[in-house]
Chains A and B, each alone.
Chain A
Amino acid sequence: MQANGTTAPLLDIRGLKTHFATDDGIVRAVDGVDLAIARGETVGVVGESGCGKTVTAMSVLKLIAMPPGRIVEGQILWQGRDLVPLPTDAMDDVRAKEIAMVFQEPMTSLNPVYTVGEQIAEVARRHEGLSRRAALEKAVHMLRLVQVSNPERRAHDYPHQFSGGMRQRVMIAMALSCDPKLLIADEPTTALDVTIQAQILELLQEMKSRFGMAIMLITHAMGVVAETAQRVVVMYAGRVIEEAPVERLFANPRHPYTQGLIRSIPHIDKAATKKERLEAIPGIVPSLIDPPPGCRFAPRCRYAMSVCREAIPPLREVEAGHKVACVL
């Protein structure tokens, strides 16, 4: 954001804490996240499963199930307005109209009993007050934009008649149909075949150049980030531990965890599974119920010192636009 830093960021998450009440105690899934996205920018949010990236995204749209989830602290400033205290119906005007979302599982994210045309049209009918017919025409138009062949006919098909990659295109068409300013893509390619993954990423790039929205791209694959994002935010155990422009991060990762992640990249072109990648960094993610005091990565960190186990190191700027939460 410093790069084009003239105005306030589009989205500015400050000190967000989202916790979940479970039988075993409070899970601090997101525990103090700061994250900003500027207009038209693509930000990659990376980290392994359970690090809180999805919960952060869901918190922005307030799609967290409450209960058991709860935004305990922090602000989510959307164009300067805090979304956290917003009532549900006001939130509904933001959803899809200003901030849209594409989910990880295209196979289960569409309602099986409605045609994809109806489901896309629903968005325009809700936010632009279009008639059923006009909204359906718009849905066909959107399907054409996301390169679904024969969109007039396909709009009348049901989700089970589409492949995973096609469904993700439908999801993207749905998300973009009201021209949102921010698209949150939560692992949009993880559930897809490798070849399809590349196509979907390419489509996202293309849509971005057409609509000009900002993208918050959540992924655990560093390779995806390297290809698409301008800036990267690395999360670990509910906190942001490093943030930098993409070239800087890859050239000069400062946090030991980020270094580990980047060292693991060569595995990715073989569609590495999470397990394989985890082997590169010894140890496991700490429990988020009673996280250890101090740096949460310390138990797995080869450089850990006693100071690391006493207090959480704050996120500090080491260079312009490069922040890291590490004492090193």
Chain B
Amino acid sequence: MGPYLLRRLVIAIPSLLGISVVLFAVLALAPGDPFGELATNPAIPPEVRMALRVKFGLDDPVPLRYLHWLSAMLHGDWGFSFASRINVDTLILQRLPATLFVIGSAQLLALVVALPVGVYAATRPYSVFDQIANTLAFVGFSLPTFFTGLLLILVFSIQLDWLPFVYRADIDATGWHWYWEQFRQSIMPITVLGLFQGASLTRYVRSAVLDVIRLDYVTTARAKGLGERTVVIKHVVRNAMIPVVTLVALQLPAVFGGAIVTEQIFRIPGIGALLISAILSNDTPVVMAVTFVFACLVVLFNLLADVMYGWLDPRISFG
């Protein structure tokens, strides 16, 4: 397991570098001078402007600028937010927990729904249950998160007035009351994101289970007289999880997309909402940093998926 993990870790570094190159290339190809907001401001005297241009290295060749930018990012020097008037890394660290909480809970909800439904449907292919589950899964991932979010707000906040539709980071309550309020305000965003992911995850699980269930070793397990339940759980689901982990990891970038929308709808103070507001206020350092953080999160979760993969499949970890 050790060498395998090390190998994955080593592979993760080039992809992180690759992503940073893509991001920086986009920035460098962009017309105009996105970092130059300050430097082109006519209110600033020319000498200061020149000094700033030198400080940002705007006149250097692109590869050099990339190296400067990368080393600054690696040193934790992520720049200064023009709009919020604080350091970008501080700003992101403030916002990250809310995002991770929502994404994590939604992923958990998705798994709790998708695993039993997908497995049950796959063991009874073409049954009424399977067809209903399949149809609902299609509905689930055809419903854009922004529309489900609005629908839930319309029903549960406006019509029924059960749940708040604005997520607040600073609930003025303590103890149980705080948890209750936190729970109430999290229900809708987590449901929106969780059901969206759960829908496609259900299809992944069903399809993976269907692929495994006809393999020879499942017949072997049946020939042992193990009983349908044991066969399915021990010999089918356990093996079907291997491709599912990969598919979940592949789906992650889309999850972050959904998180941005959800944060925007429910005004969750996470990094997704931060990205949107930074774009609307032309706050380039924040836009770049948040995009990079999202990319790092994807790589990080892919690494986690690799760990899971190696743990689930002895052929990998002992290979």
- Contact A89 B223, beta carbon cutoff 8 Å: no
Of the candidate stretches B51-59, B141-149, B212-220, the one touching chain A is B212-220
Residue of A nearest to B222 (CB): A63
From known contacts A158-B314, A161-B318, infer whether A111 and B224 are also in contact, taking CB-CB under 8 Å.
no
Asked whether A113 lies within 8 Å of B314 as measured between CB atoms, the reply is: yes
Binary flags per residue of B276-319, CB closer than 8 Å to A gives 1, else 0: 00000000000000000000000000000000000011110011
Q: Are B217 and A108 in contact (CB under 8 A)?
A: yes
- Interface set, chain B 200-239, CB cutoff 8 A to A: 214-217, 219-228, 230, 235, 238-239
Known interface pairs A113-B239, A161-B318; A174-B219 also in contact (CB < 8 Å): no
Q: Give Cα A174–Cα B217 distance, bound, in whole angstroms.
A: 12
B223 near A100: Cβ-Cβ < 8 Å: yes
Residue A257 lies at the interface, judged by CB distance under 8 Å to chain B: no
A95 contacts B313, CB within 8 Å? no
Of the candidates B217, B228, B313, the one having the most CB atoms from chain A within 10 angstroms of its own CB is: B217
Q: Which residues of B contact A140 (CB under 8 A)?
A: none
Q: Is A244 interfacial (CB-CB < 8 Å)?
A: no
- A 85-111 binary contact with B (CB < 8 Å = 1; else 0): 000110111111100110101001111
Instruction: List the A side residues contacting B222 at CB < 8 Å.
Output: 63, 95
Instruction: Determine how close the nearest CB of chain B comes to the CB of A177; give it in whole angstroms.
Output: 9
Which listed residue, B214, B215, B223, touches A101 by the CB 8 Å rule?
B223
Q: Decide if A65 is an interface residue (CB 8 Å cutoff).
A: yes
> Which of the residues B215, B219, B227, B242 comes within 8 Å of A92, measured between beta carbons?
B227
Q: Are B216 and A65 in contact (CB under 8 A)?
A: no
Q: Are B217 and A123 in contact (CB under 8 A)?
A: no
Pair A108/B216 contact, Cβ less than 8 Å: yes
Contact with B along A162-191 (1 / 0, CB 8 A): 000000000100100000000000000000
Mark A250-265 against chain B: 1 for CB-CB distance below 8 A, else 0: 0000000000000000
In-complex Cβ contact of A96 among B214, B224, B242 (8 A): B224
A104 to chain B, nearest CB (A): 8
Query: Contacts A61-B223, A96-B225: A105 and B216 contacting too (C-beta < 8 A)?
Result: yes
Residue pair B315, A158 in contact (C-beta under 8 Å): yes
Distance, CA A154 to CA B239, complexed state (A): 22
> In the bound complex, what is the Cα–Cα distance between A170 and B57 (angstroms)?
67
> Is A141 an interface residue when CB atoms closer than 8 A count as contact?
no
Q: A174 contacts B235, CB within 8 Å? A: no
- When chains A and B are docked, how far (Å) is the Cα of A97 from the Cα of B226? 11
What is the number of residues of chain A that contact chain B, defined by CB distance less than 8 Å?
31
User: Using Cβ atoms and an 8 Å threshold, which residues of chain A touch B230?
Assistant: 126
Name A65's closest neighbour in chain B (CB-CB).
B214
Q: How far is the CA of A158 from the CA of B312 in the complex (A)?
A: 13
Please name the residue on chain B nearest to A111 by beta carbon: B217
Q: A194: shortest Cβ distance to chain B, in Å?
A: 22
How far apart are the CA atoms of A108 and B239 in the complex, in Å? 13
Task: List chain B residues, Cβ under 8 A from A126.
Answer: 224-227, 230
| A127 close to B315 (CB less than 8 A) | no
Give Cα A128–Cα B42 distance, bound, in whole angstroms: 88
- Nearest Cβ on chain B to A159's Cβ, whole angstroms: 8
Interface string of A127-164 (1 = CB under 8 A from B): 10000000000000000000000000000001011000
CB-nearest residue of chain A relative to B125?
A67
Closest to B317 in A: A158
> What CA separation (Å) do A112 and B217 show in the bound complex?
9
Across the interface, which residues of B come within 8 angstroms of A31, CB to CB? none
Contact of B225 with A112 in the complex, beta carbons under 8 Å: no
The answer for the CA separation of A97 and B223 in the assembled complex, in Å, is 10
Instruction: List, in ascending order, chain B residues with CB within 8 A of A174's CB.
Output: 220, 224
**Listed residue (B223, B235, B238, B315) with the most chain A CB atoms within 10 angstroms of its CB:** B223
Q: Is B315 touching A112 in the complex (CB atoms < 8 A)?
A: yes
B208 nearest CB across to chain A (Å): 14
For residue A64, which residue of chain B has the nearest CB? B219
Bound-state CA distance A174–B222 (Å) is: 13
CA distance A110 to B242 in the complex (A): 16
Residues of B within 8 A of A34 (CB): none
Residues of B within 8 A of A93 (CB): 225
A95 touches B214 (CB 8 A): no
Q: What's the nearest-Cβ distance from chain B to residue A78, in Å?
A: 14
Contact partners of B314 in chain A: CB under 8 A: 112-113, 158, 160
| Contact present for B312 and A103 (CB under 8 Å) | no
B225 to A97, Cβ gap below 8 A? yes
Partner of B227, one of A89, A109, A112, A113: A89
CB distance from A196 to the nearest CB of B (A): 19
In the complex with contacts A108-B217, A112-B313, A158-B223 CB distance below 8 A? no
- Residue pair B214, A63 in contact (C-beta under 8 Å): no
Closest 4 CB pairs of A and B: A95-B225, A92-B225, A108-B216, A111-B217
18 contacts between A and B (CB under 8 A): A63-B222, A89-B227, A97-B225, A108-B217, A109-B216, A109-B220, A110-B220, A111-B217, A112-B217, A112-B313, A112-B314, A113-B314, A122-B221, A126-B226, A126-B227, A161-B318, A174-B220, A174-B224
- Interface of B toward A, CB cutoff 8 Å: 214-217, 219-228, 230, 235, 238-239, 242, 312-315, 318-319
